[in-house]
Chains A and B, each alone.
Chain A
């Protein structure tokens, strides 16, 4: 049984903005780790994040975060940090003041607030610009200072709406490392991003959304396995790809087997990955067949996104 005090739980949650659907009948349990929310614009990712953080209330259903709700703000927001997609700040503040003010609002004393603000600014490598006005920051700097504000109070649940937007490759890599580290520390890190191949590297689980519905959720490999409409792609790197391809053609579950562009492997599309792996083992043993690597070629977020959402999609 999932412990509600360590999970984020959506119980049949719907949110309508008047007649416009935000999300519909979402039931999810998010364990600690990095969770990526993936979906096209308008799919309900931000609504889901706003529901987690209490910025909007469910029309129906219930959301609880570590067993808490926003009705108990003193306890709830001690645990939650949210970096929204709103690129806006209180007027006239410097980066340091922006973070310090938010810490003072948490009831943290002046000296401790200053220390935590400096620590958060260092985390996003913004020390040099900390005492400049935010209004003069570049988009990437504003994004980083908002990220620093979200993590400054050491939350256990960190919600990040498109946190990689506007970041240069260096800052993007640093941010991803930070999210990964936080996830490994046992935090809940919920990220929405369009940079699928980057969030794919650090996600422990994904939630795929489309038109306000959760299309799929879970560990990405598990989600991919469930997408039956699209045969699995497996890349086998070996010395004799022609032999392997010829053996595979006769199998019913193999839809396609084509030589890789570099001539040193076979890209196989199969309807039954388990049968394929058994067959490959048999070939290796019986024919003294040397295999360098075997790797799924489309069990990443990007492929699953394309299968389920990008191309009109199926359901899991």
Chain B
């Protein structure tokens, strides 16, 4: 008798094992967040994330009550730091280090088969690992941005508090945190997919870095395939496109936040769907890796 004859009918939406999937997703999250937060490889990500915090902390200590500086100047420095350092260096490389290791690390350590032998859809594994990476990077870089913001305005005393609580400060902080999470989401999805495509994702990562840095010179349609394209639109403080920095800050075709956020989400979902497609076809062959 052919086994083809015993194919089962497809389950309807309500018949899907949602409860099982939820508990499996929770289990993956628990394992992966513990792993990504405390793994030794994460140390350099912490150092990278909190380097600007140290800089802003020193500035706050050396300029008590806003001596030799102004709120406008610090606001601009924070905006530069966020757009140039966080988005293009810190979060980019942090996500590269963490998300590429989510699957590649399991392959190197020959432990991916334990997941593959669980009664769990591989798409769910992609979702679980991605969410764990997203939570970890968002926490680390979000905390770093929050500290920078606190140091940037905390040392001004009453004027600083007024700027934050009665002025645009709190809104800017919300935007910075939102962009941080979206950056982790966008870059994270790219690097997770790259790690499933390439044994060594460093070179493709460099290609992505070049693309994200110089996408502004590309045709407008292609620009929409860049994460930074959307993030720039959402940054709360606009940086004037002066000199060489214009290459990174210029917005050739501005779009509203109501398009930028769904645009980035769509791009990330599309990349994750591709990653799910890849993982479904992945075979355990550690020797080849």
> Among B24, B35, B114, B281, which residue has the most Cβ atoms of chain A within 10 A?
B114
Across-interface contacts of A9 in B (CB, < 8 A): 3
Given A9-B3, A86-B286, A107-B23, A101 contacting B31 (CB threshold 8 A): yes
When distances are taken between beta carbons in the complex, the residues of chain B under 8 Å from A84 are 113
Q: Count contacts on B: residues with CB < 8 A to the other chain.
A: 36
Question: Of A57, A72, A77, which contacts B8 at CB under 8 A?
Answer: A72
B-contact 0/1 string along A20-31, CB 8 Å cutoff: 000000000000
Q: Are A4 and B1 in contact (CB under 8 A)?
A: yes
Are A105 and B113 closer than 8 Å at their CB atoms? no
Q: How far is the CA of A2 from the CA of B28 in the complex (A)?
A: 39
**Complex CA distance for A88 and B109, rounded to whole angstroms:** 7
Interface 9-mer from B58-66, B115-123, B163-171, B250-258:
B115-123
**B1, A77: Cβ atoms closer than 8 Å:** no
Query: Is A77 in contact with B119, judged by CB distance below 8 angstroms?
Result: yes
Q: How far is the CA of A75 from the CA of B17 in the complex (A)?
A: 11
Q: Is there contact, CB below 8 Å, between A101 and B3?
A: no
Residues on B with C-beta less than 8 A from A57 are 281, 283
User: What would 24 A/B residue contacts be, using CB atoms closer than 8 Å?
Assistant: A4-B1, A4-B6, A5-B6, A11-B3, A17-B285, A50-B283, A56-B283, A56-B284, A69-B3, A72-B8, A73-B120, A73-B122, A74-B120, A77-B120, A82-B113, A84-B113, A86-B110, A88-B109, A90-B109, A91-B39, A101-B31, A105-B120, A106-B118, A107-B119
Bound form: Cα–Cα A106–B20 in Å: 8
Interface residues of A (CB under 8 A from B): 1-2, 4-5, 9, 11, 17, 50, 53-57, 62, 64, 67, 69, 72-78, 80-82, 84, 86, 88-91, 101-102, 104-107, 109, 149
Interface residues of B in 20-34 (CB under 8 A from A): 20, 23-24, 27-28, 30-31
User: Could you tell me the distance between the alpha carbons of A78 and B20 in the complex, rounded to whole angstroms?
Assistant: 12
Is the C-beta of B220 less than 8 angstroms from some C-beta in chain A? Answer: no
Is the C-beta of B4 less than 8 angstroms from some C-beta in chain A? yes
Q: A17-B285, A86-B286 are in contact. Are A102 and B17 (CB under 8 A)?
A: no
For the complex of A and B, the 6 pairs showing the least CB-CB separation, nearest first, are A77-B119, A88-B110, A64-B3, A104-B27, A105-B118, A55-B284
Q: How far is the CA of A1 from the CA of B6 in the complex (A)?
A: 15
Q: What's the minimum C-beta distance from B236 to chain A, rounded to whole angstroms?
A: 40
Nearest-CB residue, chain A, relative to B34: A92
Min CB gap B254→A, angstroms = 45
Residues of B within 8 A of A67 (CB): 3, 6
Q: Which of B31, B113, B117, B119 contacts A74 (CB 8 A)?
A: B119
Residues of the A chain whose Cβ atoms lie less than 8 Å from the Cβ of B117: 53, 55, 77, 80-82
Query: Which of chain A's residues have a CB closer than 8 A to the CB of B2?
Result: 11
Q: A4-B3, A90-B111 are in contact. List 13 more A-B contacts (CB 8 A).
A: A1-B1, A9-B3, A50-B283, A55-B113, A55-B117, A64-B6, A73-B119, A80-B117, A82-B113, A105-B31, A106-B118, A107-B19, A149-B114
Q: Is the pair A74, B109 in contact by a Cβ cutoff of 8 Å?
A: no
Cβ-based interface call for B210 (8 A): no
What is B's interface to A at a CB cutoff of 8 Å?
1-4, 6, 8, 17, 19-20, 23-24, 27-28, 30-31, 35, 39, 109-111, 113-122, 281, 283-286, 288
**A149: B residues at CB distance < 8 A:** 114
Question: In the complex, how many residue pairs between chain A and chain B have their CB atoms under 8 Å apart?
Answer: 97
Chain B residues whose C-beta falls within 8 Å of the C-beta of A74 in the assembled complex: 17, 20, 119-121
- What is the bound-complex CA distance between A101 and B115, given in angstroms? 10
B111 x A62 contact (CB < 8 A): no
Report the minimal beta-carbon distance from B38 to chain A, rounded to whole angstroms. 8
Name the A residues within 8 Å of B284 (CB-CB).
50, 55-56
B1 touches A90 (CB 8 A): no
Within the complex, what minimum Cβ distance (angstroms) separates B200 from chain A?
19
| Shortest Cβ distance from A70 into B: residue | B116
How many angstroms from the CA of A313 to the CA of B116 in the assembled complex? 37
CA distance A5 to B3 in the complex (A): 9
Question: Are B6 and A91 touching (Cβ within 8 A)?
Answer: no
**Chain B residues near A55 (CB, 8 Å)?**
113, 116-117, 283-284
CB <8 Å contact, B285 and A90: no
Chain A residues positioned under 8 Å from B4 (CB to CB): 62
Given A55-B284, A74-B17, A91-B109: A105 touches B3 (CB 8 Å cut-off): no
Q: Do B119 and A78 have beta carbons less than 8 Å apart? A: yes
In the bound complex, do residue B288 and residue A62 qualify as a contact, i.e. CB atoms below 8 Å apart? no
Chain A residues positioned under 8 Å from B23 (CB to CB) = 104, 107, 109
CB-defined contacts of B116 to chain A, threshold 8 Å: 54-55
Query: Which residue of B has the minimal Cβ distance to A150?
Result: B117
In the assembled complex, which residues on chain A have CB atoms less than 8 Å from the CB atom of B39? 91
A130 vs B57: C-alpha distance when bound (angstroms): 46
In the bound complex, CA of A104 to CA of B114 (Å): 12
Min Cβ gap B287→A in Å is 9
Considering the complex, give the chain A residue whose CB is closest to the CB of B110.
A88
The distance in angstroms between the C-alpha atoms of A289 and B81, with both chains bound, is: 102
Which residue of B28, B281, B283 is within 8 Å of A105 (Cβ)? B28
* Chain A positions within 8 Å of B24 at CB level: 105-107
In Å, the complex CA distance between A226 and B115 comes to 42
Cα A167 to Cα B28 with chains together (Å): 32
Given the complex, which residues of B lie within 8 Å of A104, measured CB to CB?
Answer: 23, 27, 30
